[in-house]
Amino acid sequence: MGDIDILKDQLIASYKKLKNHIYYDNYAVIQRFELANFEFENFRNDKDIFDKDVFDRFFYKFAEDLISDFDNVISDIVNKIDVISLPKSVSNDKDSIKVISNCNKKKNNISKIHYFIDLPIEGHILSVLWIIKSGFVLDKRLYNNCYANRINDTLIDSILNNKNIFSPFLFHPYYEKYSSWRDNALNSITTLLKDNKNAIMLSLDFKDYYYRSLIDFKRLNDDIIDSKEKINVPHTDFDEKLNSFIEKVFNCYSLKFKRIFDKNNEENLPMIPLGFLPSLIIANWNLQGFDQSILEDINPFYYGRYVDDVLIVMESHEKSELHGEQHINELSLNKFIEKYLTYKHENPHNNIFKKNNSDWMLCDIPVHNNEENYYPYNNLKIQNDKLKIYKFSYKCSDVILKNFRKEIYKNSSEFRLMHGFESIIDELEDNIYQINYRESINKLNDIENVKINKFEISKILTRLNIASKNMSNTISMDIVKEILNAFNGKSLEFFSLWEKLFSFLYINNKFEELCLYCLDIINEISTISFCIKDNNSQKETFDFLLKDIDETYNIKNSLFKFLYFSLVRTFSLKSFNENNYHFKRLLTHINENTFDNYNYKKDIKMILFSLMQNNNLMKYPLQNAYMVYKNNDNYNLIKTNNGDYDEFLGIYPRFIKLHEFILYNINKELFKKNCDLNYINDSINLYYKYNFEDKGNINEIKEGCGLNVKDICNLNCNMCKKEHMSYNYACKVFNIGTDIKQRIKVGLLNTKLEEKDIADRIKKIPNLSNKRFDMLKKLINESIKKEVDLLLMPEMYIPYEWIGELVKISKDHQMAIIFGVEPIESEGYVGNYIMMAFPFIINEKYYESTLFYRLKNHYAPSEIKLLKTYGKELIRTEKDFYYLFNWNNVYIAPYYCFEITDISSRNIFKSWCDIITVSEFNKDVNYFNGIGESLSRDLFCYCIKSNTSEFGGNVIIQPSSSENKYLINLKGGDDDYVVTCNLDINILRENAIKDDVYDKENTFKPKPPGLDMTIIKKRMKLE
């Protein structure tokens, strides 16, 4: 492969990582749109669709130009650098703290600004390429105590070992590293207290770190070369050119600002641009001198830095001046800093902070103890309002730590649960308004202030949008008004939540309210004021400002773009009435307030072409949304399938989980009359194609999700015996997971299944109501909290539209779920399907779940009658299919209601199964319980049956005496709940291989004739 081809592949991998990053960045709305435009203009063919050949030619030409004419390519990119201005904070009136009101006064005086670099997409691609070729070695230099924006370990390993780097992963996920940074600090305090030692934690934050930093690129380039030499990575001329490009971007961006501290910047060192991916690494690298000084000179019990947020935990040995003993309360914040972090004769190396008037500043720290070369830290200042000290005495209660941990656990666990409308509305009413009291909560006069909790609003909107996607009924106007009231007067502060709010209104068909609210935002943006000088002193209140651009103009222009691009992305999810009066007004106002000539129809096409719509809100996120848009005047990506099942084309903007491909392929294949399991194999191939572009460890994945399938007839099962050969069965064994479970906690639902829901499904008016979803959510969350391993649900219980939610729960919580799906119709034919989600873990860290399905083999007469009543014919297969799942060494055979009435069918897995599950919807409880009892004894296994609570028959039966055989037996009641039971698989097997004559302590019934000890011993790994 030539140099151009190698560089082309590296550019494509860089582009994939860039696209993934922009897709997830809430502040990158403008860049997201620019990327969509970039793809639309460069990756289409003459037929107006994505073309892989066109895509490859573009990157080949890009690579060719970089090799032959690097300077001109870079010059063109750098000359287009601009600045995006977005509000960081909006000022309050001075008297506002004295007024408590349920109405938020509109505020449009911007007091702080976030500046982001506006760079051509080609420049962003090269920025990721720099990370892959050089930036990663700077990351490797960092201490483990630096947590934020660390490069993914797998990527570094792939770079160093010349492996495929096509996956979208670039950095470790935010939530993982942030949680570790915080939790490790708390753990260190707990450790000290348990050892009867006092603990002090200092938290601090550097003020405007990105803008105040001075980056010495000579030292940075030297560190890159030095690091590469140490790990035997060559540093090429092209790498050097990329370093030069990064430096030019920093310099060009910095020259657009006037900084009051530049008078101390004799070398004209640049600051760090926000919105530029190398900045994340360089920002960490720039503070490694600070890290080194803290760790080596101070030697704290714990030190952790998350970008510019710092936590330091010290073991306290302070002696009381009065009593001469440890007494932590005597140490003040300033005394602590002076003692440990400032210059003293007894501690000359602790020269980290210095006092400048009322501010603590960072000292210039020598590089590698070289007194002639210093890190340029003299502009870095500590934020006074973020500087705090936390003191913990081992003699006092640790309830504060415990409560803090409880709150963290509560918030983290909430994100992993299902959320229905009822619980979300409760959160809306309880959490978005944060009331702060001076003392008593019972006195109105003690109310300090009332704030809108932005984090809670964001969380609630996300949950409302997902819940709304799954519902058929319309949300009430009371809820809409409550949400809009929370945004009232806060639109500029909450600009990063605009798209979430727009999506909520759009999904719920509140188009008029959406347009009217956007008009209100436009009015607020139009009246923005930006005060550079203090009204009294006339001194500039900003340490940095744009030089040649009007600040007010730039922030207005940036916000109008942010608004428009958020709207376009929202509108891309479904068609709308373009002749709506309010929409026309909105479009007119947008065009009047922006200088760009936007074409919303083309812009929607661009979003869908590039796959940059919010695919989490799509019913089928892997669907080719662009072709759906082109082929349908009236389309809805949120709630309908649009009759188009072709997968997307192009570079998907995020990592696609295996279960998503499985759901996508099941949706395509569900109505076929065979069960050849091609959908799983196809899903695995797509999984590698779109995420990695190679087959990698594909065999490991296939084995993990059950594709090392064995035909059970090759395993000497009952169906191979001559007397059963006349039956037309197909039986398969799936081996899933590598864990060895000795016990398994089973969950059974006590819930009522409505016959009307089944009839309504057949009539194509399914019940997808809030109430029904809330009930399912309640039962699922109860199962999660009870740590259920295997959850069994009744027949025809789950609407097909909600399958994805169950599979996600199965994946996230490693819970196997077996459930019946409401009848599924295709062209007048109806099928009753059972589905089985079995989770597993890839490489000990990636959670996945495989969804299996099969058609019901035997229908009850009443079931056939119901379908015939509505003129439907049954979908039938040429063979009856039965599955056996070896899940983490527990053998489970799912049956579906009337199937167990067939003696031959229920005897298939004799000697092979530990558990038989039966999903039912049947009134003849006594008959089916009797079969369950016989089945349990005949096969010497546990039998678990799930039925509607109205009829009963929710049971777990073991092959034991009459008084002990029912471990669970549920019926009736108005409440819906989950009952669990721990099944001991090992004891069952141990008793199965013992001789009943000599085993006097056996709690089970004598084993039935024909039980194959050899097979059972194989399952126990004894043979």
| Structure tokens belonging to residue 363 | 């000292």
Burial 820-856 (b: 16+ CB within 10 A, else e): bbbbbbeeeebbbbbbbbbbbeeeeeeebbbbbbbbb
pLDDT of residue 722: 31
Alpha-carbon distance 547 to 532, whole Å?
13
Q: Is a pLDDT exceeding 90 seen at residue 128?
A: yes
Q: Which residues pair with 382 in a beta bridge?
A: 206
Backbone phi, psi, residue 888, to 5°: 55, 40
pLDDT tier, 162 (very low <50, low <70, confident <90, very high otherwise): confident
Indicate the residue type of 434: Q
Using one digit for the tens of pLDDT, what is the confidence trace for 802-849? 999 999 999 999 999 999 999 988 777 888 999 999 999 887 778 999
Alpha-carbon distance 647 to 620, whole Å?
10
pLDDT of residue 1: 61
Q: Is a pLDDT exceeding 70 seen at residue 593?
A: yes
Alpha-carbon distance 425 to 411, whole Å?
17
Q: Where are the domains of the chain?
A: 3-81+119-389, 419-655, 661-1019
| Structure tokens belonging to residue 694 | 């190679």
pLDDT of residue 67: 96
pLDDT of residue 278: 98
pLDDT tier, 441 (very low <50, low <70, confident <90, very high otherwise): low
Angle at 531 between CA 525 and CA 537, to 5 degrees: 165
pLDDT tier, 325 (very low <50, low <70, confident <90, very high otherwise): very low
β-pair type (729-736, 880-887)? parallel
pLDDT of residue 537: 45
Alpha-carbon distance 260 to 243, whole Å?
28
> What is the DSSP secondary structure assignment for residue 342, as one 8-state letter?
S
Best CA proximity match to 854, nearest among 666, 728, 726, 718: 666
Kindly tell me the burial class for residue 975, based on how many C-beta atoms sit within 10 Å of its own C-beta (0-12, 13-18, 19 or more): exposed
Q: Is a pLDDT exceeding 60 seen at residue 121?
A: yes
| Structure tokens belonging to residue 355 | 């006092």
pLDDT of residue 943: 96
Q: Which residues pair with 544 in a beta bridge?
A: 259
Helix and strand tally (H, E) in the chain?
Answer: 34, 32
Q: Is a pLDDT exceeding 80 seen at residue 974?
A: yes
Question: Is pLDDT larger for residue 873 or for residue 954?
Answer: 954
DSSP structure string for 646-710: PBP-S--SSPPPHHHHHHHHHHHHTTSS----HHHHHHHHHHHHHHTSS-TTHHHHHHHBT-S-E
DSSP structure string for 340-389: HHS--SS-TT---EEEETTEEEEPPPEETTEEEEE---TT-BB-GGG-EE
Q: What angle do the packed helices 498-507 and 551-571 form, to 10 degrees?
A: 30
Share of the chain above pLDDT 90, in %: 47
Indicate the residue type of 823: P
Q: Where are the beta strands (DSSP E) in 382-426?
A: 388-392
Alpha-carbon distance 804 to 307, whole Å?
36
- Residue 639 to residues 38, 470, 528, 670, Cα–Cα distance (Å): 29, 7, 38, 18
| Structure tokens belonging to residue 269 | 């060192």
Q: Which residues pair with 848 in a beta bridge?
A: 840
Which of helix, strand or coil describes residue 211?
Answer: helix
Task: Please compute the mean of the pLDDT values over residues 530-535 and round it to a whole number.
Answer: 58
- Residue 935 to residues 169, 908, 914, 959, Cα–Cα distance (Å): 50, 11, 12, 9
Question: Contact at 8 Å (CB) between 431 and 456?
Answer: yes
The Cβ-side half-sphere exposure at 580, using a 13 Å CA radius, reads 16
pLDDT of residue 324: 37
Query: Which of 367-376, 849-858, 984-993, 1013-1022 has the lowest average pLDDT?
Result: 367-376
Alpha-carbon distance 339 to 149, whole Å?
32
Q: What angle do the packed helices 477-487 and 498-507 form, to 10 degrees?
A: 170
Tell whether pTM > 0.85: yes
Task: Please compute the mean of the pLDDT values over residues 895-912 and round it to a whole number.
Answer: 88
Task: Please compute the mean of the pLDDT values over residues 915-931 and round it to a whole number.
Answer: 92
Using one digit for the tens of pLDDT, what is the confidence trace for 254-281? 999 987 766 666 678 999 999 999 999 9
Alpha-carbon distance 954 to 794, whole Å?
9
Which of helix, strand or coil describes residue 921?
Answer: coil
Task: Please compute the mean of the pLDDT values over residues 900-906 and round it to a whole number.
Answer: 86
Residues 6+ apart with CB under 8 A from 840: 704, 705, 736, 737, 738, 814, 848, 849, 850
Residues 6+ apart with CB under 8 A from 472: 766, 767, 768, 769
pLDDT of residue 999: 62
Task: Please compute the mean of the pLDDT values over residues 158-162 and round it to a whole number.
Answer: 88
pLDDT of residue 715: 42
Q: Is a pLDDT exceeding 70 seen at residue 709?
A: no
| Structure tokens belonging to residue 606 | 């661009």
Which residue blocks in 79-173 are alpha helix, DSSP H?
121-130, 136-141, 153-160
Alpha-carbon distance 495 to 517, whole Å?
13
Using one digit for the tens of pLDDT, what is the confidence trace for 175-194? 889 989 999 999 999 999 99
982: number of Cβ within 10 Å = 10
Using one digit for the tens of pLDDT, what is the confidence trace for 30-76? 999 999 999 999 999 999 999 999 999 999 999 999 999 999 999 99
661-1019 classified as CATH 2.40.110.10 = no
168: number of Cβ within 10 Å = 23
Using one digit for the tens of pLDDT, what is the confidence trace for 358-410? 889 898 888 876 667 888 888 899 998 889 998 888 888 777 788 777 777 66
pLDDT tier, 334 (very low <50, low <70, confident <90, very high otherwise): confident
pLDDT of residue 711: 46
| Structure tokens belonging to residue 824 | 């599924």
| Structure tokens belonging to residue 229 | 């030499």
Question: Is pLDDT larger for residue 439 or for residue 973?
Answer: 973
Alpha-carbon distance 110 to 771, whole Å?
43
Using one digit for the tens of pLDDT, what is the confidence trace for 608-634? 999 999 999 998 888 899 999 988 888
Alpha-carbon distance 123 to 245, whole Å?
9
Using one digit for the tens of pLDDT, what is the confidence trace for 471-510? 877 788 888 998 898 888 889 999 999 999 999 999 999 9
Using one digit for the tens of pLDDT, what is the confidence trace for 501-514? 999 999 999 999 99
Percent of the chain that is helix, strand, coil (3-state, to 5): 45, 20, 35
> What is the DSSP secondary structure assignment for residue 382, as one 8-state letter?
B
Alpha-carbon distance 567 to 275, whole Å?
22
Q: What mean pLDDT value characterizes the chain? A: 85
Please state the length of the chain: 1023
Q: What angle do the packed helices 454-469 and 477-487 form, to 10 degrees?
A: 150
pLDDT of residue 644: 60
Question: Contact at 8 Å (CB) between 944 and 876?
Answer: no
Q: What angle do the packed helices 658-669 and 803-813 form, to 10 degrees?
A: 150
Q: Which residues pair with 748 in a beta bridge?
A: 792, 979
DSSP structure string for 696-708: TTHHHHHHHBT-S
Kindly tell me the burial class for residue 237, based on how many C-beta atoms sit within 10 Å of its own C-beta (0-12, 13-18, 19 or more): exposed
